Structure 1
Amino acid sequence: MKNIKHLPAFIVDDDPFWTEVLRQILAKIGFSKIHTFEDGETCLKNIHLNPGMIFLDYQMEHSNGLDILKEVKGYYPGIEVVFCTAMENLEVAIAAMEYGSVEYLLKSNVTEELVVEIVSNSQTAKVA
């Protein structure tokens, strides 16, 4: 088991502003290998980089976050996936948790402290 901050972190989102905000937070709290992807397919093509944590958007122009979550967890169940969305939707939140997301994060509520808490709860990751 490795410290999750020593593993790559993926941000999968087509919103450049959100991606940059989250990238800065992750860098500030100690992640040094941060990869950003605008769609889920590109994320899946790079999954061989063995991320310890993925911050995954629900609604992207070319991807559905739930479908990508299922694929990631199907092949690499040890990767910690944080489902990120601007939508408050109980059905999507339940589906994300059922498919293996460790957290359902509303973008409007994100603070550095909240991200630190999420990462702290995922101190180690099982790498496939």
Structure 2
Amino acid sequence: MSPEHAPTLLVVDDDPAFNRVLLRALSQRGFDTYGATDSEGALELAQDHSPEFIVLDLNIGGESGLKLIRPLLEASPGVRILVLTGYASIATAVDAVKLGAIQYLAKPAEVDAIIKALRADDVIIGEHVPDAPMSVDRLEWEHIQRVLAENDGNISATARALQMHRRTLQRKLARPPGGA
């Protein structure tokens, strides 16, 4: 990177404190940073600033961040998107890459690991996602996330597809496996 050109980076995470901390850390490492805490703000900033890189949380305000990948790519063609999540799984990693993300990291992730992943040419999912057998709760969570992604984040459509009451689905989504 040349001294006169700081690469532009957008952080999309609905946790304002985490968003600020990550923006500050990336700014200190030479990026021109912008942050959004919701989908609308993310799309607006992507259109206004055409970032070279985006760090996208998998869960934005209770909705799947995966549904933002394509609109972000349309708003800023050529952008390199890294999906960052506290609930890493092979299934969501594969879905993220199929949708156009270039990398997938589990939280907590070091800032240097984020930068390295953003600049990497190869996606290496196995290093970032645990390969231990999943619990039944975790398998259910993964299945729900896959069906939710197939329904573009629509809770009602997902509940119908799972033959589950909408409120039951909302409760399950509010309590990811692992007690978070």
TM-score by length of structure 2 reads 0.58
Partner of 1:42: 41
Identity, in percent, stands at 24
- Alpha-carbon distance in 1 for matches of 2:59, 2:44: 19
Write out per-residue CA displacement over residues 16-58 of structure 1, whole angstroms, 9 at most, x where no aligned residue. 2321231122112111x21111111211122221111111111
**3-state secondary structure, aligned to 1:25:** helix
Aligned residues: CA RMSD: 2.1
Asked which structure has the greater CA Rg, the reply is 2
Partner of 1:8: 8
What is the aligned length? 118
Mind listing any 5+ residue stretches in structure 1 that lack a counterpart? 123-128
- Alpha-carbon distance in 1 for matches of 2:115, 2:73: 23
Deviation at 1:102, TM superposition (A): 1.0
Deviation at 1:99, TM superposition (A): 0.8
- Alpha-carbon distance in 1 for matches of 2:115, 2:74: 26
Partner of 2:76: 76
Instruction: For CA contacts below 8 A with separation 6 or more, give which structure has more relative contact order.
Output: 1
- Alpha-carbon distance in 2 for matches of 1:113, 1:7: 15
Mind listing any 5+ residue stretches in structure 2 that lack a counterpart? 122-180
TM-score by length of structure 1 reads 0.79
CA gap of 1:40–1:63, structure 2 versus 1, over 3 A, is farther
**3-state secondary structure, aligned to 2:59:** coil
